[in-house]
Amino acid sequence: MKYRAVIKRSGEWWIGWLIDLPGVNAQEKTKAELIESLRVGAEDMLDTEVPFDPGAEMTTVDIPDPVWTKPPFENLPVS
């Protein structure tokens, strides 16, 4: 699977996070190391078993569509 990542240079470091898997983020010295750390973080998160306790509920939360001030992601160049 592919997951969207935001990556950028911050001083001497590369930082990034996965939009589709909140909590997966990383900081590395090179872009290649950052992308590898994000990949490993995603694998670890997806391999983590989350127990479902009796009496717990799963639900959805309705959030209004955002008002975009910039073009949607589809129109942004991918590097």
Query: Tens place of pLDDT for every residue, the chain, 79 residues?
Result: 899 999 999 999 999 999 999 999 999 999 999 999 999 999 999 999 878 788 888 889 999 988 877 666 666 666 6
So what's the pLDDT on residue 77?
65
Please report the pLDDT score of residue 56 as a whole number.
86
State the pLDDT at residue 58. 81
How many residues are listed for the chain in this entry? 79
pLDDT at 31: 97
CA geometry: angle at 20 spanning 5 and 39, to 5°? 55
CA distance 2 to 77: 17
Q: Where are the domains of the chain?
A: 1-46
CA Rg value for the chain: 16
